[in-house]
Amino acid sequence: MKRLLVIALAAATLTACNSTGNPEFRAIDYGPGIAPIAGSLTYGGKAKARFGNMPVGYTFTHEFFNSFGSRVEERYRVLEDGSLDIYSRRITPITISHGR
């Protein structure tokens, strides 16, 4: 009986976790206010000087690998002040088939 109670309590605790933690764990993210992660063009606020000459509203894709080895695809939009806005992110885990 105690074992069942411990398992039920552990399950309730794990399901109470929210998804607002590390953005590198989210598979797909859309909308304004997406936080940059290591590898993002806007990580650390370094992209404004590099992309300021692009037309307003221009969109493009940037792909890289995150710290877990997963492929990350981010879509950016150039804002009126020349800064970049991440408006979508997709994280695809790398699967290893072991030659089968």
pLDDT of residue 43: 86
Whether residue 72 contacts residue 89, with contact meaning beta carbons closer than 8 Å, is answered with yes
The stretch 82-95 carries a mean pLDDT of 88
> What is the strand order of the sheet 84-92 is part of?
28-30, 84-92, 71-78, 59-65
What pLDDT score does 4 carry?
Answer: 65
Name the one residue in this structure whose structure tokens are 């089968």. 100
> pLDDT value at position 18?
47
What confidence tens digit (pLDDT) does each residue in 16-49 have? 554 455 555 667 777 778 899 989 988 887 665 6
Mean pLDDT within 43-70? 84
pTM exceeds 0.85, yes or no = no
Express each pLDDT in 64-87 by its tens digit: 998 888 999 999 999 888 888 999
Query: Which tokens in the block code for residue 40?
Result: 């993002």
Strands (E), the chain: 28-30, 59-65, 71-78, 84-92
Q: At 74, which amino acid appears?
A: E
Strand partners, 62: 74
In the numeric block, which tokens belong to residue 25? Answer: 């764990």
